[in-house]
Amino acid sequence: MTRIRLHNTRTRRKEDFAPIDAKDVRMYVCGPTVYDRAHLGNARPVVVFDVLYRLLRHVYGVEHVTYVRNFTDVDDKINATALARKQAGAEGTLEQLVQARSDETIGWYLKDMDEVGAMRPNQMPRATEFIAQMIAMIEGLIAEGYAYEKEGHVLFRVREYNDYGKLSGRSVDDMIAGARVEVAPFKEDPMDFVLWKPSTDDLPGWDSPWGRGRPGWHIECSAMAHELLGDSFDIHGGGNDLMFPHHENEIAQSRCAHPEGEFAKVWLHNEMLQVEGKKMSKSLGNFFTVRDLLDKGVPGEVIRFVFLQTHYRKPMDWTSDKAKSAKDTLWNWRRMAQDVISSEVDPEVLEALADDLNTSKAVAVLHRLAKDGNAASLKASAQFLGLLTDELNWVHHLAPQSVLSQPILGRPTLQQFEKTKWEELLIGERAKAMATKDFKELDRLKALLLEAGVEVRMSKAGVELVPGPDFDAAKLESV
C-alpha cells in the first residue's frame, strides 16, 4: 500500500498517515459561510483537500473514505441580507428568507467549485440542520463545569481546558496580549468564547434552555463532526487563518464534551492566497470571486492548475502571467491527449502526492511526460490530479485538419476558419515577397493571424497555422 506522509499541524512534523480504521477513513474540512459568492481564496482549500480526497480514495478505496465539508448558514451577514429583503416586502418569515438566501448562495458555491474540478464531498451538512446536537453538546459542557450561562449567553471556560493553545503554539496569556478579544460584562474571562447567544425578534433563532437564540460559530463544526464522524476521526483541514481561534475552540469544546475521543488525529492547514504579490482586498482593487474569473474567460481548469503549481503549505500568488502560462500548457496537453486512451498514473506522480501533497512536484512530472511524448501516462496522471477531464474541457473542438472552429472562452467565433486557404495565401505571398523583396503584405497577414491567436509556423517545407488557446476567429472576419 502507498505510504502517505502528512504534515500534522498539531505535532509540527511530517508523519506517516495511519488511519484509525483503514475501512473507514474520515476527513472533515471547514466549509464556507454562505453569505455571498466564493472569492478566489475560498477556492484554494477546496482544491487542496480535493487532491487529498482523491489520494485517499485511490489508496484505501472509494467506498472506504468519508469526506465531510460543512456550510455555515447561521451568520450575521446572511441575517442582514434576509432582513433587508423582508423590509423590502419579501414574503415569508425571517428564518425562511435566511434559508432562501443560503440556498441561493450554496447553489452558486457548488457550481463554482464544480468548475474548478472539485469532487463533491460525501456529506455537506448545514449548521441549521444540527441545532439540536449543538444544544445537547452545550448542555453537557455546562453540566461538567466547562461552560456557563449568563444573560442568555453561554460561554466556554477556556482556562478549564489545559491544552488550549497547543495547536497554534501560543499560551492563553499570549493570546490575550496579541489578539482582539471581545470584552463583555457577561464574560468571566476575556478569552471565554460564545457557544450560544440570544436572538432579538429581528434575528433568526431557536428555542433553547437559555432562551430563544442561535449558536456561536465554533460549536457548529464540533457538533456536525461528532454527529457524522464520531468521537475520533482521522483528518481535520482548513485554511491556516482558522487555526486560531476557530480550530483551537473546536478542539477545546470537543475534547471536553467527549473526553473518550481524540477529536481529530491529524490537522492540515493550507497557506493563504495573494494576488500579484499582495494580499487580496477590495481596497487594493485585487479582490475577485471565482465567478468573476470564469465570467472573464478564465477556465476553471486554469484556476485549478495554477493552484496545483504551489505546495499547499506555501503562500500562493495568483498572477495573470501564471494564468496565461497555465492556459497555454493545458491547451497543448489537451491537443496531445485528445485521442489517446489513458494508461496508468505515473508512479512519480503518486509518490509526490503521497509526500504531503506535493502537487508542485507532481506537476513537474506532468511536464516531463509531455516533453517525452508519453501522452497516455500524461492523460492518466493529469486526470488523477483533476486535470484534462471531460468535465473541465473548455476546448470544445481541437482544430480539425481542414477547418479550425472552436468557441474559446465564450468569445465570438467564425465557424469556418479556412486553414488551408490561409496557408495557401501565405505561401503565395511569401513567394512574391522573395521575388520582389517587399515583405509588407506578408508581414501584415502574419500580424493579423498572430493578433487572432494563431501561431504561424513558416519553414522551407511550407506553412503551418496552429490556433492557440486565445484563438479569436472574429478578428479574421473582416479580412
Annotated binding site for Zn(2+): 30, 221, 246, 250
Alpha carbons 291 and 284: distance in angstroms, whole number: 19
Cell 503562500 sits on residue = 315
Residue-by-residue DSSP string for 159-215 = GGSTTTTTTTT--HHHHHHHS-----TT-SSTT-EEEEEE--TTS--B--TT-SEEE
Whose CA is closest to 362, among 385, 383, 380, 379? 385
Show binding-site residues for ATP. 282
Show binding-site residues. 30, 221, 246, 250, 282
Alpha carbons 100 and 34: distance in angstroms, whole number: 11
Q: Which residues of 280-290 are buried (b: 16+ CB within 10 A; e: fewer)?
A: beeeeebebbb
232 DSSP β-pair partners: 263
Q: CA angle at residue 222 from 159 to 144, to 5 degrees?
A: 45
Give 277's contacts (C-beta < 8 A, 6+ positions apart).
317, 319
Handedness of CA 318, 319, 321, 324 (dihedral sign): positive
Amino acid of residue 68: V
Cα dist from 114 to 310, 381, 384, 414, whole Å: 21, 20, 16, 29
Handedness of CA 420, 426, 431, 432 (dihedral sign): positive
Contact 193, 156 (CB under 8 A): yes
Give 223's contacts (C-beta < 8 A, 6+ positions apart).
130, 133, 134, 137
Query: Which set of grid coordinates corresponds to residue 188?
Result: 468571566
Peptide bond into 315 cis (omega under 30): no
Whose CA is closest to 144, among 161, 122, 168, 128? 161
Alpha carbons 328 and 305: distance in angstroms, whole number: 11
Alpha carbons 204 and 300: distance in angstroms, whole number: 36
CA atoms within 13 A on the CB side of 318: 23
Alpha carbons 330 and 338: distance in angstroms, whole number: 11
| Cα 356 from chain centre | 17
